[in-house]
């Protein structure tokens, strides 16, 4: 009988998700936010995501062998709890709680998971329950799904798990070995998140925006080194400024932030609004530079010998979605290949916890070749959604069924029109990769601004990314490094910024997605048609959602987004909806 393992995330009160493995094959995975239409689904359990995974795989609740979660008990003998108590001495209630009741959150979380499993119909007494340390889950999600057979350096950077914030280790023969962990409040992700809040964005979501701002600023104009004391192998966060709790937090309109009033005294008022104002753009650049410098030096110190030996690195944790850091890593001569878990945030720990327990049983996991792991819909379901949908002015939805989708949509794009592209299975993770995307023709000036201002309703300076034929990638990019998941930026070769200006960022880079025909044949066919019409096998690709909303999941979600924007074209499978 095959081993059926269900991984469930949501241990840190955000980004709950479910992932289902049959032996070593990842069959389905989805984030709860997509089903309940609540970005990050804070405070929720992955109820609907779990039901989807079971339904899609044709698995009944009584067939589940293992439920795995990415959160574990941390013993009092661990240095983690003592470090936390010592560093948070200024908040004695938190410090004492870490020592005397340090697994309170774990016990509460397991209670929530048990209740949810029983609601789904999983008999708690009949399954094996496995709890995996949070950062081991991140590590497993990258290493065990990388396909790497050699000894592999593993890095994990995020806000925090139970207590750990930063992980360095290696994988060999299917086993993960720890080398070094850092503990809260000493968190690179925590500092980046605090500055994200200071710059006027929301933690867990706005870090991408800070990264997008950074190329517009001067990283040497301000010295941010006072935020983190670093000696080449250890770092210590300045908790008088950032990653603060309790009474040290800066408060505004009753909301507490992860930075202190002392940071305001140093840098000035917290940024507000959507404009890039001086000096905030330079602050973003300085934060990005500090983050990159310390991350790379820590990587060299703890993983340098392993990287020189095999050249392979696996990376996860929310900070692994920092594509500028990833670019710096793959530019190292000793690095042959970097695998970043495409769902590197906490949503991906559902995959990580499950893969860790599967690997511990000696089962080899399949390499992650794609993230099309969510729901899909038929033409009939799309038509039914159109017929049942009422527009705001109570008009019927205007739709038709196409015979040649790639050719027709390519012509619409080449004529300068953005298109909502709803095809096949929904992606797992934050990146739109041709399943739930808004597309544009990147050679037409102004397309990016139009999507920003009229459709995405987001900051006008945020960059858009290119999806391209795998045959085009080596021509457009100054590298032959794999780019299947939009997790890296690359320098663009001469001439391409002029050919596709709408997808090349201020610093001459592009966060590229190279499409293989075997992975997504319809999207590949569209790119081939675009190449015929424009000479460039490239499209502008951004996620199918509006600002502040999760990526769409169902045809009904796509119609809501379509009629709530200035888009004129929506293609769902073969069904073209027009205004």
Q: Which residues contact 199 (CB under 8 A, 6 or more apart)?
A: 206, 209, 210, 213, 270, 271, 280, 283, 284
Looking at residue 459, its pLDDT comes to: 63
Give the residue-averaged pLDDT of 152-166: 98
Q: Residue 571 maps to which CATH number? A: 3.90.870.20
Tokens of 435: 């399943």
- What is the per-residue burial (b if ≥16 Cβ within 10 Å, else e) of 238-263? bbebbbbbeebbbeeeeeebbbbeeb
Rg of the chain taking only CA atoms, in angstroms: 23
What is the helix (H) or strand (E) element at residue 558, kind and residue range? helix 555-563
Both 407 and 532 in a single domain? yes
Number of independent structural domains in the chain: 3
Query: Which residues are bridge partners to 467 per DSSP?
Result: 513, 539
pLDDT at 117 exceeding the cut of 80: yes
pLDDT at 348 exceeding the cut of 70: yes
Sequential DSSP letters for 391-455: -TT-PPPEEEE-S-HHHHHHHHHHTT--EEEE-SSPBSSS---SSEEEEE-TTSTTHHHHIIIII
pLDDT at 333 exceeding the cut of 70: yes
Looking at residue 25, its pLDDT comes to: 98
Bridge-based pairing of strands 538-543 and 465-469 is antiparallel
Residue 75: CB atoms within 10 Å: 10
Q: Is residue 263 part of a domain?
A: yes
Higher pLDDT, 452 or 225: 225
Confidence of residue 506 (pLDDT cuts 50, 70, 90): confident
Say if residues 102 and 76 touch (Cβ distance below 8 Å). Answer: yes
DSSP code, position 125: G
Both 218 and 267 in a single domain? yes
pLDDT at 564 exceeding the cut of 60: yes
Choosing from 14, 134, 138, 144, which is the catalytic residue?
A: 14
Say if residues 161 and 349 touch (Cβ distance below 8 Å). Answer: no
pLDDT at 460 exceeding the cut of 60: no
What is the helix (H) or strand (E) element at residue 350, kind and residue range? helix 349-360
Among 139-143, 290-294, 445-449, name the one with the lowest average pLDDT: 445-449
Higher pLDDT, 206 or 175: 175
Give the residue-averaged pLDDT of 266-290: 92
Give the residue-averaged pLDDT of 240-262: 96
Say if residues 143 and 153 touch (Cβ distance below 8 Å). Answer: no
Tokens of 35: 């089903």
Both 476 and 355 in a single domain? no
Bridge-based pairing of strands 175-183 and 164-172 is antiparallel
Q: Residue 105 maps to which CATH number? A: 3.30.420.40
Q: Is residue 163 part of a domain?
A: no
What is the helix (H) or strand (E) element at residue 165, kind and residue range? strand 164-172
Both 460 and 472 in a single domain? yes
Say if residues 319 and 157 touch (Cβ distance below 8 Å). Answer: yes
The H helix count followed by the E strand count for the chain is 19, 24
Both 412 and 515 in a single domain? yes
Looking at residue 391, its pLDDT comes to: 86
Residue 114: CB atoms within 10 Å: 14
Report the share of the chain in percent with pLDDT over 90: 92
Return the SS3 of 570: strand
pLDDT tens across 369-395, in order?
999 999 999 999 999 999 999 887 888
Report the share of the chain in percent with pLDDT over 70: 99
Q: Is residue 413 part of a domain?
A: yes
Both 331 and 355 in a single domain? no
Nearest CA-CA partner of 434 in 447, 443, 442, 424: 424
Alpha-carbon distance of 512 to 473, in angstroms, equals: 8
Q: Is residue 174 part of a domain?
A: no
Residue 138: CB atoms within 10 Å: 36
Looking at residue 455, its pLDDT comes to: 73
Looking at residue 463, its pLDDT comes to: 79
Give the residue-averaged pLDDT of 511-528: 98
Both 558 and 424 in a single domain? yes
Both 384 and 500 in a single domain? yes
pLDDT tens across 60-104, in order?
999 999 999 999 999 999 999 999 999 999 999 999 999 999 999
Both 424 and 573 in a single domain? yes
Sequential DSSP letters for 487-525: --EEEBPTTHHHHSGGGS-TTSEEE-EEEPTTT-HHHHH
Alpha-carbon distance of 287 to 263, in angstroms, equals: 13
Q: Is residue 115 part of a domain?
A: yes
Give the residue-averaged pLDDT of 227-242: 98
Q: Is residue 164 part of a domain?
A: no
Both 309 and 397 in a single domain? no
Say if residues 4 and 18 touch (Cβ distance below 8 Å). Answer: no
Both 312 and 348 in a single domain? no
Say if residues 466 and 483 touch (Cβ distance below 8 Å). Answer: no
Looking at residue 50, its pLDDT comes to: 98
Looking at residue 392, its pLDDT comes to: 79
Looking at residue 461, its pLDDT comes to: 59
CA angle in degrees (0–180, nearest 5) for 439-467-469: 125
Say if residues 12 and 334 touch (Cβ distance below 8 Å). Answer: no
* Structural domain span for residue 295: 188-339
Q: Is residue 373 part of a domain?
A: no
Nearest CA-CA partner of 120 in 34, 71, 62, 36: 62
Alpha-carbon distance of 154 to 156, in angstroms, equals: 7
CA angle in degrees (0–180, nearest 5) for 178-182-187: 135
Phi-psi bin for 142: left (phi > 0), alpha (psi -120 to 50), beta?
Answer: alpha
Confidence of residue 456 (pLDDT cuts 50, 70, 90): low
Q: Is 177 a catalytic residue?
A: no
Looking at residue 388, its pLDDT comes to: 96
Return the SS3 of 569: strand
Both 335 and 349 in a single domain? no
Q: Is residue 26 part of a domain?
A: yes
Mean residue pLDDT of the chain comes to: 96
Say if residues 22 and 539 touch (Cβ distance below 8 Å). Answer: no
Give the residue-averaged pLDDT of 564-571: 94
Sequential DSSP letters for 530-553: HHHHHS--EEEEEESS-TTSPPP-
DSSP code, position 271: P
Q: What is the pTM of this model?
A: 0.97
Say if residues 542 and 456 touch (Cβ distance below 8 Å). Answer: yes
């Amino acid at each position: 009988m095959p081993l059926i393992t269900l991984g469930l995330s949501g241990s840190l009160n955000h980004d709950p998700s479910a992932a289902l493995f049959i032996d070593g094959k990842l069959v389905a995975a989805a984030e709860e936010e997509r089903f309940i239409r609540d970005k990050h689904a804070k405070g929720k359990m992955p109820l609907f995501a779990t039901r989807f995974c079971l339904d899609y795989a044709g698995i009944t609740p009584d067939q589940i062998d293992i439920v795995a979660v990415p959160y574990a008990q941390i013993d009092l003998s661990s240095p983690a709890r003592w470090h936390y108590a010592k560093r948070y001495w200024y908040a004695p209630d938190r410090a004492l709680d870490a020592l005397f009741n340090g697994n309170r959150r774990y016990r509460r979380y397991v209670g929530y998971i048990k209740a949810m499993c029983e609601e789904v119909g999983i008999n708690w007494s009949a399954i094996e329950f496995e709890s995996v340390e949070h950062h081991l889950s991140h590590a497993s999600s990258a290493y065990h799904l990388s396909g790497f057979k050699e000894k592999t350096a593993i890095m994990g950077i995020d806000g925090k798990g139970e207590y750990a914030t930063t992980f360095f280790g290696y994988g060999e023969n299917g086993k993960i070995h720890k080398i070094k962990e850092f503990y809260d409040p000493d968190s690179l992700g925590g500092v980046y998140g605090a500055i994200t809040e200071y710059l006027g964005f929301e933690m867990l979501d706005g870090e991408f925006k800070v990264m997008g701002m950074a190329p517009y600023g001067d990283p040497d104009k301000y010295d941010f080194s006072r935020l983190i004391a670093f000696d080449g192998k250890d770092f210590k966060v300045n908790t008088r400024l950032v990653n603060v709790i309790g009474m040290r937090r800066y408060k505004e309109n009753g909301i507490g932030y992860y930075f202190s009033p002392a940071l305001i005294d140093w840098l000035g008022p917290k940024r507000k609004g959507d404009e890039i104002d001086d000096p905030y753009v330079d602050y973003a650049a300085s934060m990005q530079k500090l983050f990159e410098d310390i991350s790379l030096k820590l990587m060299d110190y703890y993983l340098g010998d392993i990287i020189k030996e095999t050249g392979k690195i696996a990376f996860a944790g929310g900070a692994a979605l920092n594509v500028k850091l990833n670019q710096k890593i793959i530019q190292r001569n000793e690095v042959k290949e970097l695998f970043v878990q495409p769902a590197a945030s906490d949503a991906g720990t559902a995959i990580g916890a499950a893969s860790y327990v599967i690997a511990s049983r000696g089962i080899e996991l399949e390499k992650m070749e794609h993230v099309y792991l969510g729901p899909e819909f038929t033409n009939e379901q799309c038509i039914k959604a159109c017929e049942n949908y009422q527009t705001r002015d109570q008009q019927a939805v205007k739709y038709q069924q196409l015979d040649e989708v790639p050719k027709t949509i390519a012509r619409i794009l080449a004529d300068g029109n953005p298109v909502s592209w709803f095809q096949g299975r929904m992606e797992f993770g934050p990146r739109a990769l041709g399943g739930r995307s808004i597309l544009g023709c990147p050679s037409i000036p102004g397309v990016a601004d139009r999507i920003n201002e009229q459709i995405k309703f987001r900051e006008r300076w945020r960059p858009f990314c290119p999806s391209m034929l795998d045959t085009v990638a080596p021509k457009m990019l100054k590298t032959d490094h794999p780019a299947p998941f939009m997790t890296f930026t690359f320098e663009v070769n001469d001439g391409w910024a002029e050919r596709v200006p709408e997808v090349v960022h201020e610093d001459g880079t592009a966060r590229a997605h190279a499409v293989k025909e075997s992975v997504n044949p319809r999207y590949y066919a569209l790119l081939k048609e675009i190449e015929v019409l424009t000479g460039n096998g490239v499209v502008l690709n951004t996620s199918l959602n509006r600002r502040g909303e999760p990526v769409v999941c169902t045809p009904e979600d796509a119609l809501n987004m379509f009629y709530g924007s200035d888009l004129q074209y929506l293609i769902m499978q073969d069904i073209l909806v027009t205004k």
